[in-house]
Amino acid sequence: MKTVAFITDLHVGAHIAAVEGVYERARTYGWHVVEIEYKHSRRPIADYIRTWKPAGCILSCSALTEPLAPEVFRRIPTIYLDPDEKTLRGRHHCVVNAPEPIAKLAYRELAAFGCAAYAYVGWNEPTPWSKGRHRAFEECVRTDGKPFSAFTESWTAADRLNFHTRLAKWLKLLPKPCGLFAANDDTASQVADACHFCGLKIPQDVAIIGVDNLEIICENATTSLSSIAIDFYAAGLLCADYLAELLANPRLRPGIRAFGPGQIVRRQSTRSIARVDGRITRVLERIRREACLGLKAADVIAEIGSGRRSAEQRFRRATGCSILDEINRVRMEHVFALLRKPDYPISLIAQQCGWQSDVFLKKLFKRTTGLTMRDWRKRERSAGR
């Protein structure tokens, strides 16, 4: 059995999905994976390499990979996940998050507002992924002939108050309404704070979308934040497949392979409904949060505060669908997410997603997709190979 070292920054947040993807493929390839969380380690990485003698390595976290590579990984087949620019320019095997599909999703979401202008706020460090998203988003905006601005001043997470002050001044000068794309969810939350700091309304004045869909950030912002979920699970699969190819052919030419985004998770910061019907916006937020907890259409109607017929008409005018359709749509998104986890039991999905009847979900799923849940999972798994 081959040993593979998977060296991560921290086993937290979105990176957990990448770990799951690597482990999934490791079972297929018969690997023993040793996961090393670099920031939690008191020993140099070289000690782990000497002990485990891995056949190959996957390195995640750009800030750590290149300084270690020359002395530690020179003779070990290694895949770099989202590396820094120096590594990208070198002769290395890299897996990166493609910026173009992310930027296009962001622009499409913001363009629904009919914005007067668009803007981008990057990460506080000039990372390849932040600069790539900036470049790709600007291209989308310029191609459509719209005004574009970017916040290019340096900032530090250690002094966010200073950042908010400078950012607020910049935001107030932008034409309104403005569609703003933030490099990630943390940046998006800083933008939201700056908007509230200077009295700008979200999304009426500034519509905001971030990246990563970190719920602890997006759900707890003063205005909940829309975000583009990244398919880090697919990134883990891609890294493992690339490494397997490299192990089979050590002369494999170095290159860059890309993984893309998943889907937009829409919250208040890009809901155009907020302009005309704040109550429907609030119940949409409730549906998104509670649909899988057994929320019923009657609960939503009660919150709207009118009779069933009137509430349904008001909801349909704002959203184009019925209350029950929206509840089932949100639940179905969770069904797809659980089906993408190959070890999650199909028998538990209905209950986990808010349905009491497993039979009802199976019929609804077949009517929606044309496939059984088992066949859909098999198709997705085959497509990911």
CATH number at residue 220: 3.40.50.2300
**383 assigned to some structural domain:** no
Q: How confident is the model at residue 37 (pLDDT cuts 50, 70, 90)?
A: confident
* Statement to judge: residues 211 and 313 lie in one domain: no
pLDDT recorded at residue 58: 93
Same domain, 224 and 125: yes
Domain-terminating residue out of 207, 242, 271: 271
User: What's the whole-model pTM score?
Assistant: 0.80
Q: What was the pLDDT predicted at 291?
A: 93
The 10 Å CB-count burial string (b at 16+, else e) for 105-128 is: bbbebbbebebebbbbbbbbeebb
Q: Please give the structure tokens belonging to residue 149.
A: 């601005």
Is the domain of 93 the same as that of 238?
Answer: yes
Q: Is residue 135 assigned to a domain?
A: yes
Q: What are phi and psi of 9, to 5 degrees?
A: -75, -70
Are 33 and 179 in the same domain? no
- CATH number where 367 lies: 1.10.10.60
Residue in the block written with tokens 């482990």: 23
User: What pLDDT, on a 0 to 100 scale, did the predictor assign at position 65?
Assistant: 46
**In angstroms, rounded to a whole number, what is the distance separating the alpha carbons of residues 194 and 162?**
10
Higher pLDDT, 220 or 62: 220
Claim to verify: residue 282 and residue 358 sit in the same structural domain: yes
Task: Decide if 384 is inside a domain.
Answer: no
Q: What is the pLDDT of residue 279?
A: 84
> Quick one: pLDDT at residue 143?
96
CA angle (275 as vertex; 295, 323 as ends), nearest 5: 25
* Same-domain check for residues 226 and 103: yes
Assess contact for 346 and 361: CB atoms under 8 A: no
pLDDT: is 45 or 104 the higher one?
Answer: 104
- Same domain, yes or no, for 91 and 237? yes
CB within 8 Å of 271: residues ≥ 6 apart: 203, 226, 281, 284
By C-alpha distance, which of 200, 135, 126, 184 is closest to 156? 126
What is the structure's pLDDT at 71? 61
Identify the residue with better confidence: 26 or 14.
26
Q: How far are the Cα atoms of 148, 192, 385 from residue 279, in angstroms, in the given order?
A: 32, 21, 44
Mean confidence (pLDDT) of the chain: 88
Same domain, 168 and 282: no
- Domain assignment present for 147: yes
Is the same domain home to 298 and 155? no
What confidence tens digit (pLDDT) does each residue in 67-101 have?
455 567 778 999 999 887 877 877 889 999 999 99
Could you tell me if 325 and 361 lie in one domain? Answer: yes
The total number of structural domains that make up the chain: 3
Range of the domain at 132: 99-230+265-271
Same domain, 92 and 237: yes
Per-residue pLDDT of 299-335, as tens digits, reads 999 999 888 999 999 998 888 899 999 999 999 989 9
Whether residue 66 has pLDDT greater than 50: no
Q: Is residue 385 part of a domain?
A: no
The reply to whether 211 and 330 lie within a common domain is: no
pLDDT of 276 > 60? The answer is no
Q: What is the pLDDT of residue 14?
A: 61
C-beta of residue 25 within 8 angstroms of C-beta of residue 241: yes
